[in-house]
Amino acid sequence: MRKKSSAPFIILSCALILSLSAVAQDMKYSNRNTLPEIGVVASDAISLDKEMIIGDAVMRQMRGQSPIIADPVLDEYLQDLGNRLVVHADNAKFPFQFFWVNNDAINAFAFFGGHIGVHAGLMRRADNESELASVLAHEISHVTQRHIARRMQAQKRASPLALASLIGGVLIAIANPQAGMAAMQAGSAASAQLQIDYTRSNEQEADRIGIAMLARAGFDPKGAASFFSTMAEEYRMVSRPPARLLTHPLTETRIADARNRANDYPRRYLPINKQFELAKARIKSRYSFDADYSLEYYQAAVEQQAQRSREASLYGLTLAYMRNEENKKAQKILDELLEKDPTNLFYLDAATDIYIALGEPLKAVEMLKPHVTHNPRNQVLALNQANALISAQKYDDAIILLKDFLLVKKDYQVAYQMMSEAYQKAKRFSQMHQSKAEVYALYGAYNRAVDELQYAYNFAGDNHLQKQRIRARIKQFRDQEDRLERL
């Protein structure tokens, strides 16, 4: 099961907010190894509470205007990987949210409030899970070290006007991303040397802390250096490096430093991670390749004799057959995969989609039932079961399942979209409009959310309790909008 935004792509990355206007130059790092004292660092520039408010607002903006991949299977994998790192991070002040961006650039980015985005293109080029984890650890370190807030503090010391421009640019970007990026760039142009010096410190610090985190979490600490080397080699001869190299410049010094730091930890020789290989195959087959090429690519991969992950190739071929509406061929492969690994979420998700495509959603319901009973709030199982129930016209059952899921994951837009569909098909129009309002609110479109609630109010009839709840939710949305304006 998958849903994705098709809106234009706009990125608000930690690196962009740090205004790296001169990062294409060959920079040498400072030899200073002492970490700055954190905790109260930059607290007078921006508080943790305000950072979370801004981060939430930017995330809502991105949902509405960026090609974020809303794919429960990939989301589950990425969040699990990120959480395995975060538990070994110091100074993690809030829950982290990891998400995918449907863009083939090699890039990842962090911004206020523990939000970390990963481009599909970065996953496609990573050779193993330690390399992917090294990028996440680096971005987590940007957040835990509060590099954005510290950048603001540095700007405040240099010029209060520059700081005002930088904060203003972030807030403008909530309403008008293009204007916001221009404002941030203009606001920091007056202190170019400060930007360069501060960026060197940020990157060195994030590398050092990230590699330590990587080792503590059980990954190969050499993952960072190997990924650096792969990127540097691939783009050595190109005139314009990818976004990742522009915002995180790779010098020979930085690569050597990563290797040296990794040598401080025991080398880990990890087996091929099946979940990583399956996630990579899903990225390629569903998002990176077009339908025809995906089929050709995975047919060739399966035919190759020597493969490091035959199951991932078979899974990629299954998805390619599904994209080309050859569902019977897909089902034949998937039945064999499920026989060997009956609880694998990647396989259960694909099997659900195949049953629905073949007009047999009740088979999907029965297949998923024992898994949902065992783990009712897992997003892959719950949302696939809800999707199958809606397809089987069991709308009330789907609604009950989705309500229960949203109690623990209240900001998952796919669930609200499915809830809206279930209410619409059940002809429960007041609830349908309330669900649509929640979707608009997740995009930061509070005016449209209020409009949907007004429609819901009109459909509520004599249900006074429901009308009271709708009025209360309208007030909450307006209060949220006012809070952002006051920032």
Catalytic residues: 139, 207
Q: Which of 163, 171, 156 is closest to 54 using CA atoms? A: 171
Instruction: Give the helix, strand, coil percentages of the chain, each rounded to 5.
Output: 70, 5, 30
Q: Which of 485, 416, 477, 474 is closest to 445 using CA atoms? A: 477
CA–CA separation, 477 vs 467, rounded Å?
A: 15
Helix axes 147-158, 192-216, angle to 10 degrees: 160
Degrees to nearest 5, angle at CA 366 with 310 and 339: 25
Helix axes 429-442, 446-459, angle to 10 degrees: 170
| Cβ pair 277, 312 in contact under 8 A | yes
Other CB atoms closer than 10 Å to residue 260's CB: what's the count? Answer: 11
* Feature table: binding site for Zn(2+): 138, 142, 203
CA–CA distances in Å: residue 355 to residues 2, 230, 295, 346, 362? 15, 40, 20, 15, 8
Token pair for residue 7? 């809106």
CA–CA separation, 340 vs 330, rounded Å?
A: 16
**Sheet arrangement for strand 115-119:** 3-4, 68-70, 97-101, 115-119, 108-111
CA–CA separation, 307 vs 309, rounded Å?
A: 5
Residues in CB range of 358: below 8 A, 6 or more apart: 327, 328, 331
